[in-house]
Chains A and B, each alone.
Chain A
């Protein structure tokens, strides 16, 4: 990397983050309904008007540390499968060496 690349990167990153963080600001700080997703403003609105409001997920992994546990299990299973089939996934091309 060139001499001034890192400081310049930091400055540009700071600008990018300064712009991006307000986009992720907590919904509580926004007026009601501001920047809501179309799932709320369109899909759920029409569903509620038709008497079919959304319900909680059947498998609610958002309680406590359940989500972390699920990601752990998914990581273990995914890692095992990736490792088991490593040679299949990353098979070298069988081209004769020149």
Chain B
């Protein structure tokens, strides 16, 4: 079968998968779950990272105007990836990758926090996916945790001279797991009440494992495949945020 037809079919199939109506299945903390005090605290935690990310976007855009277009493209990718439900047969549930690990190794962690925040805001406003009061906690888990863990994992493995595919795979995997670990922390800290925090935290983590363990591996392959594709086809894009080995 010709490669052009496979490419066209995959493109059409992917487009249809996105356009077909589907529920939003997610790690996002829904509206009203966090008490007001905890919701405000997570906003305060997210704010300095968001400010740093906006400064980083401005600085890099001033040096290279095309960086803004790349940021917009990565933002669109993070938006789609983070509301893409994937069934996990081993658990019988659905969840989604986050895309922030991939974003961080393409445009850097700061700009990824900015695009993740925008994606989460749009999802909360238009898709009832997360919530306005829980936006701060969602930004910290998916934006800050996902981007920073993915980026530092990539940098660390590159310094160990591992190849780009392995580094990008580990970046996607770790960013996914760290995101859900922070979500578990946010839930356990706010909801443990008189009970033991650690006990509740472990209970939530264990509940996430059947779904997120395989999905993290899938996100690793997604990140590695996408990174290798960009590196093979448009390596000049990665020079904007090159990580030295």
Contact = CB atoms under 8 A, between A and B. Distances in A.
Given A16-B9, A20-B17, A39-B25, A54 B32 contact: yes
Interface in A25-67: 27, 34-47, 50-62, 67
B8 interface: yes
Contact of B5 (A12, A27, A35, A62): A12
Contacts of A60: 128
Given A2-B2, A8-B1, A54 B93 contact: no
Given A12-B6, A38-B95, A47-B187, A24 B21 contact: yes
Nearest to A93: B66
24 contacts: A11-B9, A12-B6, A15-B9, A20-B13, A34-B92, A37-B25, A38-B27, A38-B94, A38-B95, A38-B211, A39-B27, A39-B28, A41-B93, A41-B207, A45-B207, A47-B33, A47-B187, A50-B191, A54-B32, A54-B33, A57-B124, A61-B125, A74-B126, A88-B68
Contact of B207 (A12, A34, A42): A42
A10 to B, nearest CB: 8
A11 B95 CA distance: 29
Given A35-B94, A53-B32, 6 more contacts: A24-B21, A40-B25, A42-B204, A57-B131, A58-B131, A59-B132
Interface in B28-82: 28-35, 65-66, 68-69
B6 A58 contact: no
Interface of A: 1-2, 4-6, 8-9, 11-13, 15-17, 20-21, 23-24, 27, 34-47, 50-62, 67, 70-71, 74, 88-91
A16 B93 contact: no
B24 to A, nearest CB: 7
Contacts, number: 158
Interface of B: 1-2, 4-6, 8-10, 12-13, 16-17, 20-35, 65-66, 68-69, 85, 87, 92-95, 124-126, 128, 131-133, 183, 187, 190-193, 200, 203-204, 207-208, 211-212
Given A43-B33, A44-B33, A46-B191, A37 B5 contact: no
A9 B8 contact: yes
Contacts of A50: 191-193
Nearest to B130: A39
Contact of A58 (B28, B31, B65): B31
Most buried by A among B9, B125, B187, B190: B9
B17 A89 contact: no
Among A9, A23, A42, which residue has the most Cβ atoms of chain B within 10 A?
A: A42
B20 A4 contact: no
B191 A16 contact: no
B63 to A, nearest CB: 13
A37 B212 CA distance: 11
Contacts of B22: 24
